[in-house]
Structure 1
Amino acid sequence: MAAANTSTACVGTSRSRLSRATQTLKPVRRQVARREVSCSVSNVFDNAKEAAGKLAAGLMASAVLAGGLQPAAAITYKELQGLTYLQVKGTGVASTCPVITGSSTTASDLAPGEYSVQNFCLEPTSFNIRDESQKRPEFVKTTLLTRLTYTLDNMTGKMTIGKDGTVSFKEEDGMDYAAVTVSLPGGEPVPFLYTAREFDAKGTLESFSGDFTVPSYRGATFMDPKGRGASTGYDTAIALQTRSDADELEKENNKNVQPMRGSMVMSIVNADADTGEISGVFEALQPTDTDMGAKPPKDLKITGVWYAQLDRA
């Protein structure tokens, strides 16, 4: 009987100890659980902050042009050739024209003669549109809506420098157009095809100017939401066949993709007679998109910097 009481007492003691140990472990488990949840929440917030930072960086890069700033620090052509794809990716360097540094020569030191133009590059630094809604129409600043893909690069052409300092320049080929969309201060989006196609200029080493072709923003095979196109699709809107000859629908039905004209003035600021590199500033005027002739174009003024390499023809 005494042994049984002793055994029962031991069991009771073990149960009480186990109960106390369990009660002791519960707060510890709660603390560990809280720490795990806290760590998980912290990781979520860290990931969210990182994602938000990347998004903000992208938005800032898209808004760079609106402030008239370059998306990245420009480098020389030699430095650019020394970079790999991964070193250029995401830095904005691909949207800049090379610069000339350390040159002791000027444009007047370029020898007269005929040259082939290589790596001709145009980098806009501002897009301004004439606001016709004001009493005195003037060019207003815009906000870039598309990505940093507005630079025209790898263009080729010909340049002739006369003994009297005269210059003739012709653009022939290359990446000479880019689809861009900007926003007016009121929020209206304005698409256009930024280009320097067939640029033909004459002047002096200090300044030369000429005209260029502005192709239609949409091609002849593009069809609007009602299936109307310049060379394909319906002649009129399907639901409005009886009004196909109405004056207010004439421009919508008869698509126009004829190219227009623009003009540009260029100035040589830096030149390296040893390497044949030249660079400077430019200002161009061209029309915006007309929605295939349905809307009147707006006047667009583009300013920026340019770069090219001259090789003896």
Structure 2
Amino acid sequence: MGYLKIAEGCSNRCTYCAIPLIRGNFRSYPMETLLEQARHLSDKGVKEIVLIAQDTTRYGIDLYHKYMLADLCEEIAKLEGIRWIRILYMYPDELSKEMIDRLAAIPKVLPYFDLPLQHGDDAMLKAMNRRGDVKSIKETIDYIRQTHPQAIIRTTMIVGFPGETKKHFDNMLSFVKEMKFDRLGAFTYSKEEDTPAFDYQGEPRESTKNKRYKELMMVQQEIAQQLNEVWIGKEVEVLVETMDTITKTAKGRSVHSAPDNIDGVIYVKVKENVKPGTFILAIIDHAHGHDLHGYQS
């Protein structure tokens, strides 16, 4: 697995985030530079390339005056050694139907959509200066799932943003329950100096933030367990990352998990020792939290 950073900086100006102050406005790296780096990764034996930036969906808009993420993926997909292309950090309001359709047409691009939404209440999204609203987010997710029946959707949520009331939080919980995200991470709000939100009033107490965080993660844990149990009895492709030669257990990931220790892993009882970087097929026999367990088919 290898990361490919396709841009630097951010121009979104979320009120809680200091990244634009630290790293400047969004700047795409030239496609020819990225393709050279991708070839280098492929030559080293990398099978999965993970595209990252503060906002991958915006790639190319500054250099080429149009969205070029799908074009970049099409070129990377031509590299014979690359098996999977995973895209992280996609800004939902810039993920158009055209972009979703074009990515769906590239077999090596995984149906994995990392959409950091941050909240599920319109008033909170506005306070965070997040573009779009809950209705448009739902429409985007619905279209992704129509286009990619096996889509994995990951998101993050901020709990305890200044001004967040119980009603705002309850709206977030309802949103999460309705959307049934495959992966969801959350964190409690903390002030960042020189950001607009630093001076916002009405920040919940730490005890309230922590209580809401635990409630949100309990809801998501139940959703994750239900969604993982769907895979029991099914065969999945696993990219092996480590091998325990004593227990004959390989640990790896499927298309459903990014390599950042957030999404969970798959433990596979194998017939013979397997080299890391190898793809194997496994039958899932049980699920535990975010992790799946199975045996080599």
Q: Do the two structures share a fold, i.e. TM-score over 0.5? A: no
Higher helix share: 2
Larger Rg: 1
- What TM-score comes out, normalization by structure 2 length? 0.24
- What TM-score comes out, normalization by structure 1 length? 0.23
Q: Which has the higher contact order (CA 8 A, sep 6+)?
A: 1
